A = this chain, B = another copy of it.
């Protein structure tokens, strides 16, 4: 039994080391030009050994994405659980997600790159686990929206699934601007206050869900007190 357990631990440790190496290589060269050889070199493994762990690029990307989402998930759950109503829970989860993004800015680059893959190999076990994790996050958002519909803070007409996809996708673009604030300033030729953009975005999301504009404003303020935003400077 002890031997089996040691082997399982070693396998987990090597898998984690490959995901670390893969994330670094992806950040560096991007999804399109990534070759598995580069990951093998970065992880100090033979290509054959690498393929014992990941069947290809999409399995590797799925593993990286799944691990990040799993790490962040308890904080999202906690942000929702602490809130007095569904609308405030959505506000707190949005701030929490934004904190994750600012703490690991390279993850957005990797994600945007992978999102533009022309097609995905979704037949692997790693991809299946990733899809299950995506579903879990969407379910949490959906459940939070339904909670708000039940407690009367969120409009009954909202389709929780469509709104979850909208919150996810619109936030990607906003975060792209915030994490690249310095070059946004070069493009617009004037100062760009990233906090103002995030607050505008969150208020917009809340107004699109709330039963009344006043409820959206209350939830915005309630989430601000509970979770002060880390400053993201335009300078890098």
Binds B, one of A46-54, A127-135, A143-151: A127-135
Which B-chain residue is minimally distant from A138 (CB atoms)? B188
Q: Tell me if A30 is interfacial: C-beta within 8 Å of chain B.
A: yes
Interface string of A73-90 (1 = CB under 8 A from B): 000000000000000000
Q: Is the interface of A mostly helix, strand, loop or mixed?
A: helix
Q: Tell me if A166 is interfacial: C-beta within 8 Å of chain B.
A: yes
Which B-chain residue is minimally distant from A171 (CB atoms)? B173
The oligomer's copy count stands at: 2
Which B-chain residue is minimally distant from A135 (CB atoms)? B189
Report Cα–Cα, A180/B30, bound state, in Å. 17
Which B-chain residue is minimally distant from A187 (CB atoms)? B134
Q: Tell me if A13 is interfacial: C-beta within 8 Å of chain B.
A: no
CB-CB under 8 A from A156, the residues of chain B are none
Q: Are B188 and A131 in contact (CB under 8 A)?
A: yes
For chain A, residues 53 to 86, give those with C-beta under 8 angstroms from any C-beta of chain B: none
CB-CB under 8 A from A135, the residues of chain B are 188-189
Which B-chain residue is minimally distant from A164 (CB atoms)? B188
Q: Tell me if A200 is interfacial: C-beta within 8 Å of chain B.
A: yes
Binds B, one of A1-9, A17-25, A91-99, A203-211: A203-211
Q: Are B116 and A162 in contact (CB under 8 A)?
A: no
Report Cα–Cα, A184/B115, bound state, in Å. 8
Partner of A177, one of B119, B165, B197, B200: B165
Report Cα–Cα, A170/B32, bound state, in Å. 24
Q: Tell me if A29 is interfacial: C-beta within 8 Å of chain B.
A: yes
CB distance from A176 to the nearest CB of B (A): 6
For chain A, residues 205 to 230, give those with C-beta under 8 angstroms from any C-beta of chain B: 205, 207-208, 212-213
